[in-house]
Structure 1
Amino acid sequence: MGKESSLYLMSVTIQDILQWIERNIAEPLPLGVLAQKSGYSAWHFQRGFKKIAGMSPGMYIRYRKMVIARELLTETNRSITEIALHLGYQQQSTFCRAFREHYQRTPRQYRLQVQTGSVKAIRE
Structure 2
Amino acid sequence: MSMPAHFMESLIEWIEDNMDKPLRIEDVAKHSGYSKWYLQRMFTSTTGKSMGTYIRDRKLMLAADDLMNTNDRIVDISERYGFDSQQSFTRIFGKKYNVSPSAYRKNNVRQVA
Amino acid at match of 1:78: D
- Aligned equivalents of 1:96, 1:107: Cα separation in 2: 6
Answering whether residue 108 of structure 2 is matched by residue 114 of structure 1, we say: yes
Q: How many angstroms does 1:67 deviate by?
A: 0.4
Cα RMSD, aligned residues only: 1.7
Report Cα offsets for 1:28-71 as digits up to 9, x if no partner. Answer: 22222212222222222111101112111100110001100110
Q: 2:39 aligns with which of 37, 45, 49?
A: 45
Answering whether residue 52 of structure 2 is matched by residue 61 of structure 1, we say: no
- Aligned equivalents of 1:115, 1:30: Cα separation in 2: 33
TM-score by length of 2: 0.87
List 4+ stretches of structure 1 deviating above 4 A. Answer: none
Aligned residue pairs, count: 110
Computing the radius of gyration over CA atoms, which structure comes out larger, 1 or 2? Answer: 1
Asked whether the 8 Å contact 1:14–1:38 carries over to 2, the reply is: no
- Aligned equivalents of 1:108, 1:29: Cα separation in 2: 25
For structure 1, the residue ranges without an aligned partner over 5 or more in a row are 117-124
* 1:84 paired residue number: 78
- Percent identity over the alignment is 35
Report Cα offsets for 1:82-103 as digits up to 9, x if no partner. Answer: 1111111231111111100100
TM-score by length of 1: 0.80
Asked whether the 8 Å contact 2:66–2:77 carries over to 1, the reply is: yes
Larger RCO (CA within 8 A; separation ≥ 6): 2
Asked whether the 8 Å contact 2:22–2:81 carries over to 1, the reply is: no
Amino acid at match of 1:70: A
For structure 2, the residue ranges without an aligned partner over 5 or more in a row are none
